[in-house]
Amino acid sequence: MSILRMTLWAAGLFAVALWISPVLADDTPGVMPGDGAMTCAQIGAELAPYAQQMMPSVAALSQTQSELTARGQRRVAEATPEAAALTAAATASHLDPTGLASRGVGVAEQGMQQREWNRALAEDKPLTDKANAQMNTVVEQAAPLQANPRIQRLMQLAQDKNCH
């Protein structure tokens, strides 16, 4: 089949799809009359009860994630002086023509990274476990909402209209 025929054939199928889509829209699950004319504010208002249903779980998860982030930032701040000293030592070690100093600094850097990694794992385990449990709760709450055709339709409308 020539490129021209394929292009015309594809364009014809596209036109038929555009013509049939509005006809079938009323039979699509979740579609209600007037959906196409909804504003972002109207879509948001209809989605609000579902969002409010999830808000406590999402807020708790967000709080736990914020605590984990703050701990990480604190650890970085505490480790910065040692990391800066190792960086300076690494720079100075390049003057050693034998390379022994560079290897020693490299081992020290790896040791520091491993120590900080182990520290983070130990300190954050309770919060990480809590965040994982909270995430499971959010996912469990979201599952029925994802299966709701009306919510899916509203989300699609929000995306189509670039609602934020």
In whole angstroms, give the CA distance from residue 92 to residue 101.
9
> Which positions of the chain have pLDDT values less than 50?
1-25
Residues contacting residue 72 through CB under 8 Å, at least 6 positions apart: 120, 124
Q: Where are the domains of the chain?
A: 31-160
| Overall pTM > 0.85 | no
Task: Give the per-residue pLDDT at 108.
Answer: 94
Dist. CA 126–CA 121, nearest whole Å: 9
For 65-88, the pLDDT digits (tens) are 999 999 999 999 999 999 999 999
What distances in angstroms separate CA 94 from CA 54, 81, 87, 156, one per listed residue? 56, 20, 11, 58
Q: How much is the pLDDT for 27?
A: 58
Average pLDDT, the chain: 84
**Residue recorded with tokens 């889509």:** 21
User: Per residue in 6-24, pLDDT tens?
Assistant: 443 444 433 333 343 444 4
DSSP state of 28: S
What pLDDT is attached to residue 30? 83
